[in-house]
Amino acid sequence: MSTAEISGEDFQVRFWGVRGSVAAPGPSTARYGGNTSSIEVRCGARLILLDGGTGMRYLGNRLVAEAPLDADILFTHTHFDHVCGLPFFKPFFQPQNQFRLWAGHLGAGMTMHRVLHELMMAPLFPVPPGVFRAKIAYRDFKAGDALTLASGIAVRTAVLNHPDGATGYRIEFGGKSVCYVTDTEHVPGNLDRNVLALIAGADIVIYDCMYTDEEYAKSFVGWGHSTWQEGVRLCQAAGAKKLVVFHHDPDHDDDRLDAIGREVEAVMPGAVMARDGMVLKF
Ligand SMILES: [Zn+2]
Ligand SMILES: [Zn+2]
């Protein structure tokens, strides 16, 4: 996809990182990709980025040619796998660009500005955010708030169930909707009301499908993640149209994800497994 193909009122989603928790590059994950969470959303001429994992570096390398950029970056939360691409995002080094960084999960004196400064601090990182030349504004809000990014783009948010908090998003544009719901843990047998309300009738739901139900019950209760089966249950209960299986376990190699994909397809035709480079258009 070249940016020249995007025009008018197009609404599309491109995946640059689909892996959960830690990057997992290598031959066994090459087909689905090993980059952590990074998604590009185009609402007509408006650019919205979701999270800043390692995939964001590749996205940034593509975006430098589009400067001047004016974009919003929505963070589910600031666990390392969702922010570690930020220092390597080349458009931050271009003075003609401006970005707004949105986060709804912080509190108790913590801000998105402070998170970025602590991420890029000795002895963890060689240079501070002062090396950036773009104009960066910080938009801390409370998960559950509605956000105004631009006219014609409605963004709703919801509290997710994750250690240190996380925010789910629903972006509506041109009568279509995409929801981004990661990282979140479900309570078995009890569909999350916040998630159900957020994704009701949505066209696309990108959901934290880190585990299978079996893996979750056996080893991962309390780790803050969900399962593809719960994603199916939520989408079916909420009347959502397409599930995108996302935030893959770094220990799930390509063959394993192929097998999971077949299981998902059998119970929810049209669902897709997220992979680096995948583009969904409305
Ligand atoms: Zn994560
Ligand atoms: Zn997390």
Task: Supply the pLDDT for residue 8.
Answer: 54
Q: Closest Cα partner for 51 from 20, 75, 21?
A: 75
Ligand sitting nearest the alpha carbon of 82 = 1
Ligand sitting nearest the alpha carbon of 160 = 2
Ligand sitting nearest the alpha carbon of 22 = 1
Task: Supply the pLDDT for residue 9.
Answer: 74
Ligand 1 centroid to Cα of residue 149, in Å, is: 24
Question: What single string gives the DSSP state of each residue in 36-102?
Answer: BSEEEEEETTEEEEE--STHHHHHHHHHGGG-S-EEEEEES---HHHHTTGGG-GGGG-TT-EEEEE
Ligand 2 centroid to Cα of residue 240, in Å, is: 24
d(Cα 223, Cα 79) in Å, to the nearest integer? 13
Convert the pLDDT of each residue in 100-146 to its tens digit: 999 999 988 899 999 999 999 999 999 999 999 999 999 999 999 99
d(Cα 141, Cα 120) in Å, to the nearest integer? 22
Q: Closest Cα partner for 231 from 211, 214, 217?
A: 211
With H, G, I as helix, E, B as strand and everything else as coil, classify residue 191.
coil
| Whether pLDDT at 4 is above 50 | no
Average pLDDT over residues 8-22: 93
d(Cα 229, Cα 242) in Å, to the nearest integer? 14
List the beta bridge partners of residue 154.
148, 172
Task: Supply the pLDDT for residue 108.
Answer: 84
In this structure, the strands spanning 38-43 and 46-50 are: antiparallel
Ligand 2 centroid to Cα of residue 50, in Å, is: 14
Query: What's phi and psi for 182, nearest 5 deg?
Result: -155, 145
d(Cα 169, Cα 182) in Å, to the nearest integer? 9
In this structure, the strands spanning 204-208 and 153-160 are: unpaired
Task: Supply the pLDDT for residue 138.
Answer: 97
| Confidence category of residue 6, pLDDT binned at 50, 70, 90 | very low
| Whether pLDDT at 3 is above 70 | no
Convert the pLDDT of each residue in 143-166 to its tens digit: 999 999 998 999 999 999 999 999
Ligand 2 centroid to Cα of residue 166, in Å, is: 7
Ligand sitting nearest the alpha carbon of 165 = 2
Convert the pLDDT of each residue in 214-267 to its tens digit: 999 999 999 999 999 999 999 999 999 999 999 999 999 999 999 999 999 999
SS3 helix, strand, coil % of the chain, rounded to 5?
A: 30, 30, 40
Ligand 1 centroid to Cα of residue 15, in Å, is: 15
Average pLDDT over the chain reads 96
